[in-house]
Amino acid sequence: MTVGSVYIQTKDLPAKDLLKDMIEMAKGVQHPMRGLFVRYYLNKLCKDKLPDTGNTYEDHGGRVEDSIDFLLTNLGEMNRLWVRI
């Protein structure tokens, strides 16, 4: 997660692709409590790197819809983990 967050800053790949990859990596955590922690940590690391209007990641990184998709996907997965607890 930390490496992915730093890799977004280099702007070698679009931020939306890296965010999707990090969401898929977080699915590998099977324990509900640890999975919640990992997803919270992912949100904290990427909150300033989400593509947004007027942001440095807007042109190359993606669109606002990509940021919304990332946040809603992460929230949905966190909700599933809460249900498992």
| pLDDT average, residue stretch 74-83 | 96
Confidence of residue 38 (pLDDT cuts 50, 70, 90): very high
Q: What share of the chain has pLDDT > 70, as a percent?
A: 100
Look at phi and psi of residue 53 and say left if phi exceeds 0, alpha if psi is from -120 to 50, else beta.
beta
The yes-or-no verdict on residue 10 having pLDDT over 80 is: yes
The yes-or-no verdict on residue 33 having pLDDT over 80 is: yes
pTM score, whole prediction: 0.87
The yes-or-no verdict on residue 43 having pLDDT over 90 is: yes
| Dihedral sign for Cα atoms in the order 26, 57, 59, 11 | negative
